[in-house]
Amino acid sequence: MKKQKGFSLIELLIVVAIILIIAAIAIPNLIRARISANESAAAAATRTIATADIQYQTSFGSYAPNLSSLASPAAGCPTGTIPPSTNACLIDYALGNAVPATPKSGYAFVAANSNGGQSFVEGGTPVTLGRTGNKSFCAIEDGVVHFDPTGAAAGTAGATACIALSPIGQ
């Protein structure tokens, strides 16, 4: 009888079992790393939106009524002309349209003015709590980014609720 070359079924099963054990250890770490990256991106985007809203107020005399007013139009910003208040070209199109239907880095963002355009609250909330992020972020006219470790909708909670949250870095 001729000796067969190759692996036995038991050897192949052992290799598959080792690969599955390594994957079971690595996948939760990858998910945590992705959540951390999404949260960092959301905090930076919240700061970007707050800065853009302050620039909008300087240019147009009141804070932006909504997030899309800060954004570039889909076709891009016009050259040689002043952008209109409906598309002020202060943030990119993707961030300006990062709503639950089209999130950016797992977060949906919102911006709204109040008091006749003399104040604003904006922020980002994870689209799927625990999978795309664990924290929500908000900011008001002072430009300080605050976070809610529970992931509640901080950007829509109002100025008083936003101020009550912990600022980033504290």
Q: How far is CA 112 from CA 38, 52, 120, 140, in A?
A: 23, 13, 6, 10
Helix (H, G, I), strand (E, B) or coil at 107: strand
Phi and psi at residue 155, to the nearest 5°: -70, -20
CB-based burial, 143-159: b 16+ in 10 Å, e otherwise: ebbbbbeebbbbbbbeb
Region 114-129: what's the mean pLDDT?
Answer: 91
User: Residues 31-51: pLDDT tens digits?
Assistant: 999 999 999 999 999 999 999
Model pTM score: 0.83
Region 132-143: what's the mean pLDDT?
Answer: 93
Query: Which sequence spans correspond to the domains of the chain?
Result: 9-167
User: Residues 74-107: pLDDT tens digits?
Assistant: 888 888 888 889 999 999 999 999 888 889 999 9
